Amino acid sequence: MSILHTRLCELLGCEYPIIQTAMGWVTGPEIVAASGNAGGFGFLAGATIPPDEIERDILKTKSLTDAPFGVNFHMYQPNAADIVELVIKHKVRAVSYSRSPGGEMIARLKEHGVKCVPTIGLPKHAIKAIQLGADAVTVQGGEGGGHTGSVPTSLLIPQVVDAVDGKVPVAAAGGFKDGRGLVAALAWGADGIAMGTRFLMAKEASPPDATKQRYVDCNNPAEIIVSKAVDGLPQRMINNEMLQRLENANPLTKFMIAIGNGLKFRKHTGASLISLLKSAIAMAKSDDITVTQAIMSANAPMIIQKAMVDGQPGSGVLPSGQVAGVIGEVLSCRDIIHGIAAEAEERLKVLAEMTNNETRQ
């Protein structure tokens, strides 16, 4: 057993405490299976596709690996209940989510042994998630991609570790790419790391080569900025042509773009217009955001699609952690995970030797 085997590994059934997070249009069966086969733990993206396609992807993943994996979804997507039933039906190991499902939904998942691993951004959110039944929490610091907070990972992780007080494993996210980062997370008290951007820049990730190359070419972390232009909420992205157009648009134009993308999202997912509006209102009530912001949330998946599916990185937005600015190549999941594990084990040995030398002196 690896010296890196932690409580997170025990909970998820993986060899290394390395989670491949879910990203819409990015993490399909191929990368999830590859992550599991390499000893990590992968999450399928379930928030941007219809239920029948989710079931297809679950079955495809099972055909590619015997390793356990998870499915990501949002409570307020119209087909959330369908995803829960599919996860139970196919005995998926875990679910991840950023907006906590209601107590009944979590209770049903836990009744069938599904591990609940929400992503949170503050200590109080971690405490609430545990009260609702979370089995572990992923904590994303401000360096992370997509929707993010403002507290740096190095400050946030110890805060959350102290807040949860050992009740559940903690996975650290936001700025991780190598073994040194994994060791740092363990030193802060976390039980492992979760990475999105590093896996987006993996050979098995779904985006076309042109889009991945745009990430590789971004060699300055300062070019990966936080903006509210897409959906009214802070979101970290590469500063490209589409983001600049959204930044410069007036509020009415942004709202009309959101309505158009909402209709596209409805057609894509098969949800009714009424169900989408109900979801937006429920999201606004729960997350302390305006209905307009909730409606604008439909912008993200449809504009991201332009880059991640159509291969037009300048015509879509590019969610990214700042770590993309220091990643210069696309690797396989096996090389990513095994490379991180090997470097982490080596660093731990060096630290142990340093400690022994100090003791002997």
- Is 79 a domain residue? yes
Do 234 and 185 fall within a single domain? no
For 24, the domain range is 7-206+331-359
With respect to residue 1, please indicate whether it lies within any of the assigned structural domains: no
> In terms of domains, do 340 and 310 share one?
no
Q: Could you give the count of Cα atoms lying within 13 Å of 273 in the half-sphere of its Cβ? A: 5
Q: Are residues 243 and 201 in the same domain?
A: no
- 15 and 124 belong to one structural domain: yes
In a domain, residue 298? The reply is yes
Same domain, 163 and 121: yes
Indicate whether 202 and 241 sit together in one domain: no
With contact defined as beta carbons under 8 Å apart, do 327 and 202 qualify? no
Q: Within 17-114, where are the H helices?
A: 29-37, 51-64, 80-89, 103-111
In a domain, 247, yes or no: yes
Residue 240 CA to residue 306 CA, distance in Å, equals: 13
Residue 142, C-beta contacts closer than 8 angstroms, at least 6 positions apart: 148, 149, 150, 151, 152, 153, 156, 174, 226, 236
Q: What is the pLDDT of residue 233?
A: 82
Tell whether 342 and 283 lie within a shared domain: no
- At residue 79, the pLDDT reads 81
- Structural domain contains residue 2: no
Nearest to 176 by CA among 335, 20, 348, 8: 20
Q: Are residues 100 and 146 part of one domain? A: yes
Q: Which residues contact 217 (CB under 8 A, 6 or more apart)?
A: none
pLDDT tens-digit profile, the chain (361 residues): 778 999 999 999 999 999 999 998 899 999 999 999 999 999 999 987 777 899 999 999 999 999 999 999 987 777 888 899 999 999 999 999 987 667 888 999 999 999 999 999 999 999 999 999 999 999 999 999 998 999 999 999 999 999 999 999 999 999 999 999 999 999 999 999 999 999 999 999 999 999 999 999 999 999 999 998 887 789 999 999 989 988 888 877 766 666 666 555 555 555 554 555 555 555 555 555 555 555 566 566 777 888 888 889 988 889 999 999 999 999 999 999 999 999 999 999 999 988 777 666 6
Cβ(327)–Cβ(198) under 8 Å? yes
Do 160 and 303 reside in the same domain of the chain? no
The domain total for the chain is 2
What is the rounded distance in angstroms from the CA atom of residue 17 to the CA atom of residue 201?
19
The reported pLDDT for the residue numbered 269 is 56
Distances 280 to 96, 258, 286 between C-alpha atoms, Å: 20, 12, 10
Task: Determine, yes or no, domain membership for 58.
Answer: yes
Comparing CA positions, the residue from 73, 30, 69 lying closest to residue 48 is 73
User: Looking at the structure, do residues 200 and 174 belong to the same domain, yes or no?
Assistant: yes
Domain match, 145 and 289 both:
no
Dist CA 95 CA 81 (whole Å): 13
What's 186's domain CATH number?
Answer: 3.20.20.70
3-state secondary structure of 144: coil
Instruction: Tell me: do 150 and 78 sit in the same domain.
Output: yes
